[in-house]
Amino acid sequence: MKRRYRLRDKTRFQQVRDEGRSYADRLCVLVTLENDIPYSRAGFTASRRVGKATKRNRARRLMKEAVRIHFDEVAPGWDMVFIARPPIVKADFAMVERAILRLLERAGVLLEPGPSGTGKTG
Rounded-to-integer distance, Cα 5 and Cα 38, Å: 11
Report pLDDT for 117: 46
pLDDT score at 113: 66
Which residues make Cβ contacts (< 8 Å) with residue 59, sequence separation at least 6?
Answer: 46, 50, 51, 84, 88, 89
> For position 115, what pLDDT does the model report?
52
Beta-carbon contacts of residue 38 (< 8 Å; ≥ 6 apart): 76, 77
Each of the 122 residues of the chain gets a pLDDT tens digit; together they read: 788 899 988 999 999 999 999 999 999 999 999 999 999 999 999 999 999 999 999 999 999 999 999 999 999 999 999 999 999 999 999 999 999 999 999 999 998 765 554 444 44
Q: Residue 65: in which H helix or E strand, if any? A: helix 53-70
Give the CA dihedral 111, 105, 45, 29, nearest 10 degrees. Answer: 160
What is the value of pTM for the model shown?
0.89
The pLDDT assigned to 121 comes to 47
The DSSP 8-state label assigned to residue 48 in this structure reads T
